[in-house]
């Protein structure tokens, strides 16, 4: 909460707002109200002070503010006129309620609902399509058995068989992404799994792996095949993001997550993985959609790789996030529940 006079001066500010701004109260009192938030001016559209002077009524708005440390916070701003003894408005009373976490939770919930709906549809289509493919592949195999080894038609049948196999792989991706097919878990060394998978996927490339991990790293209770797919997809993406070569950094550590510390995670013990490349990065306008199915920044991409990664991590009661900047690379952060056995 803060009190502002008609000349935009901050007259009073409470402890909670000073804490949100990460400033000392004495440092803020006496400043112009717009000076507290970087990039703001007295000509800001919907300026609360101007609205109070014009309408003289209290109101609430949803807004976003940039703090001095570069962090954006979502707020509900409640504003009311501050009057003198004669009843005239001499300033305004502002109250900020930080709803950043709530906004993130709502966005996460909406994304999960959207992915669940698309996953149900994709799973149904994939099951039906897989059955059709099996019939086609079976008939191709029978046709091959009826022909002599030198018959020219065999070549075309084998090509068809290869195409069918690729289509079967695609349905496999759809089924993994879909809401069905929960993980079949076992206790494994996540360190050995990641090291083996990533080294294999980077073999023959000019990308170097730098791998660091805690010596006492916990084991994880996961579906080995699905988690292999997660880190294989991320390694291949990193390799493609560094066509001229580079370094892929992977770090693993044990972490304890307290209640409400990280959105979407239950309180408990986790293995935190960071996968950072120094590649081309992702445009900020694409980051919000990067885990959406059938969305890809690559011309030849199907848009299922990262959607599948997100789905697998979610099914394991884990969490995945990314941070990226064009020309500076991309970092994926993954939390997987630890078994500690």
Do 271 and 315 belong together in one domain?
Answer: yes
Do 132 and 70 belong together in one domain?
Answer: no
Stronger pLDDT, 199 or 71, i.e. the higher one: 199
Do 200 and 314 belong together in one domain?
Answer: yes
CATH of the domain at 118: 1.10.287
Domain boundary among 151, 177, 203: 177
Q: How many structural domains compose the chain? A: 3
Do 195 and 88 belong together in one domain?
Answer: no
Q: Is residue 179 over pLDDT 60?
A: no
- pTM value? 0.59
Print the domain residue range for 142: 103-177
Domain boundary among 152, 177, 202: 177
Do 27 and 53 belong together in one domain?
Answer: yes
Give the pLDDT band of residue 31 (cuts 50, 70, 90): confident
Greatest mean pLDDT among 111-115, 123-127, 170-174, 204-208 lies in: 204-208
Do 268 and 314 belong together in one domain?
Answer: yes
Do 233 and 330 belong together in one domain?
Answer: yes
Any idea which of 49-63, 93-107, 166-180, 300-314 has the lowest mean pLDDT?
166-180
Do 60 and 140 belong together in one domain?
Answer: no
Domain boundary among 177, 199, 225: 177
Greatest mean pLDDT among 172-186, 250-264, 269-283, 299-313 lies in: 269-283
CATH of the domain at 18: 3.30.450.20
Summarize pLDDT for 75-124 with one digit per residue, the tens.
787 888 877 788 787 788 888 787 777 777 777 677 666 666 666 666 66
Do 132 and 264 belong together in one domain?
Answer: no
Do 215 and 320 belong together in one domain?
Answer: yes
What local confidence, expressed as pLDDT, does residue 246 receive?
93
Do 231 and 332 belong together in one domain?
Answer: yes
Stronger pLDDT, 245 or 300, i.e. the higher one: 245
Do 37 and 141 belong together in one domain?
Answer: no
Q: For the chain, what is the HEC assignment?
A: CEEEECCCEEEEECHHHHHHHCCCHHHHCCCEHHHCCCCCCCCCCCCHHHHHHHHCCCEEEEEEEECCCCCEEEEEEEEEEEECCCCCEEEEEEEEEECHHHHHHHHHHHHHHHHHHHHHHHHHHHHHHHHHHHHHHHHHHHHHHCCCCCCCHHHHHHHHHHHHHHHHHHHHHHHHHCCCCCCCCEEECHHHHHHHHHHHHHCCCCEEEEEEECCCCCCEEECHHHHHHHHHHHHHHHHHHCCCCEEEEEEEEEEEECCCCCCCCCCEEEEEEEEEECCCCCCHHHHCCCCCCCCCCCCCCCCCHHHHHHHHHHHCCCEEEEEEECCCEEEEEEEEEECCC
């Amino acid at each position: 909460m803060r009190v502002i006079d008609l000349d935009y001066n901050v007259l009073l500010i409470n402890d909670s707002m000073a804490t949100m701004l990460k400033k000392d109260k004495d440092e803020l009192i006496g400043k112009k109200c717009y000076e507290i938030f970087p990039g703001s001016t007295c000509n800001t559209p919907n300026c609360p002070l101007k609205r109070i002077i014009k309408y003289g009524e209290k109101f609430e708005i949803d807004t976003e503010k940039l703090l001095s440390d570069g962090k954006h916070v979502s707020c509900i701003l409640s504003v009311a006129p501050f009057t003198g003894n004669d009843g005239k408005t001499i300033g305004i009373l502002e109250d900020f309620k930080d709803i950043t976490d709530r906004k993130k939770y709502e966005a996460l919930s909406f994304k999960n609902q959207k992915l669940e709906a698309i996953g149900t549809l994709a799973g149904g289509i994939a099951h039906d399509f897989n059955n059709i493919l099996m019939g086609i592949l079976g008939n191709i195999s029978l046709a091959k058995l009826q022909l002599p080894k030198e018959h020219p038609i065999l070549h075309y049948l084998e090509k068809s068989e290869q195409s069918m196999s690729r289509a079967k792989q695609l349905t496999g991706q759809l089924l993994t992404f879909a809401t069905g097919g929960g993980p079949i878990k076992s206790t494994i060394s996540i360190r050995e799994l990641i090291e083996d998978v990533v080294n294999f996927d980077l073999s023959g490339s000019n990308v170097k792996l730098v791998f660091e991990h805690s010596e006492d790293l916990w084991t994880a209770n996961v579906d080995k095949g699905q988690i292999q797919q997660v880190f294989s997809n991320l390694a291949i993406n990193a390799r493609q993001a560094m066509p001229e070569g580079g370094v892929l950094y992977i770090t693993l550590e044990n972490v304890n997550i307290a209640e409400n510390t990280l959105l979407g995670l239950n309180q408990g013990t986790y293995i935190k993985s960071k996968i950072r490349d120094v590649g081309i990065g992702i445009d900020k306008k694409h980051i919000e959609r990067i885990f959406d199915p059938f969305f890809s920044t690559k011309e030849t991409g199907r848009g299922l790789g990262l959607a599948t990664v997100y789905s697998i991590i979610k099914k394991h009661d884990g969490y995945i996030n990314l941070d990226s900047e064009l020309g500076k690379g991309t970092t994926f952060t993954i939390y997987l529940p630890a078994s500690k056995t």
